[in-house]
Amino acid sequence: LSANNESRGALVVFEGLDRSGKTSQCGRLVSYLEGLGHSVELWRFPDRTTSVGQMISAYLTNKSQLDDHTIHLLFSANRWEKRSMMETKLKAGTTLIVDRYSYSGVAFSTAKGLDFEWCKAPEIGLIAPDLVVYLDITPEKAAERGGYGGERYEQLEFQRKVAQHYKLLKDSSWKIVDACQPLDDVEKQVKEIVSQHIIACQKGKILSSLWS
């Protein structure tokens, strides 16, 4: 695995239920790739630093109420406002490790009862990940892990619905990793899978768009 700035970076997305370990694994992976001399950045959605992101954050912390369709479109807008930067970074050779993306957008909104195709539509044209690492854990096991915080959606019954809807989104870019294993074992598997994909991108794998 060598750092080569003449080839593009990989877009690697992590998905999974709350408490599945996404944030820890993303952090460990980024440190590992940096150690190998790669150009790599850790991103997350929602990106709460933008003005759209601040509206999302207020909603998630129950400081504001929004119609389900409205918040869905804000999450999508929050990805669109980062799209061109994402393309620039990838083309410049930077690998992006992204904690949640369009799959969270669709899984969470459809879990509330919104229509599947309606939810996918605003995501069409965003950059398709080269790899989606799905950290697989049952909602019950996830809930046992130190419990949830106070944010909207952090409830067992709702997480069960999200898990069902995530399954409908699985495609050939997904790799499912058993997230019930010890953190170190998960980390090892993640490193192997991601390394292979970075190499494929360096060899010229073409960037594509959602949802094709």
Rounded to a whole number of angstroms, the minimum distance from the CB of residue 30 to ligand 2DT is 16
The one among 9, 16, 46, 53 contacting ligand 2DT by CB under 6 A: 46
Rounded to a whole number of angstroms, the minimum distance from the CB of residue 105 to ligand 2DT is 3
Asked if 105 interacts with ligand 2DT (CB under 6 A), we say yes
> What is the four-CA torsion angle of 186, 83, 105, 131, rounded to 10 degrees?
-30
Helices of type H across 92-210:
102-111, 116-120, 139-144, 156-167, 183-202
Q: 131-136 and 11-16 as β-strands: parallel, antiparallel, unpaired? A: parallel
Task: Report how far residue 35's alpha carbon sits from residue 32's, in angstroms, rounded to the nearest whole number.
Answer: 5
The one among 100, 120, 165, 197 contacting ligand 2DT by CB under 6 A: 100
Give CA 26 to chain center in angstroms.
10
Rounded to a whole number of angstroms, the minimum distance from the CB of residue 142 to ligand 2DT is 12
The one among 10, 11, 13, 60 contacting ligand 2DT by CB under 6 A: 60
> What is the four-CA torsion angle of 56, 61, 63, 68, rounded to 10 degrees?
50
Rounded to a whole number of angstroms, the minimum distance from the CB of residue 45 to ligand 2DT is 4
Classify burial at 190, counting beta carbons within 10 Å of its beta carbon; exposed 0-12, middle 13-18, buried 19 or more: buried
* Count of residues touching ligand 2DT (by CB under 6 A): 9
Asked if 59 interacts with ligand 2DT (CB under 6 A), we say no
Q: Where along the sequence are the contacts to ligand 2DT (CB under 6 A)?
A: 45-46, 60, 75, 100, 104-105, 108, 153
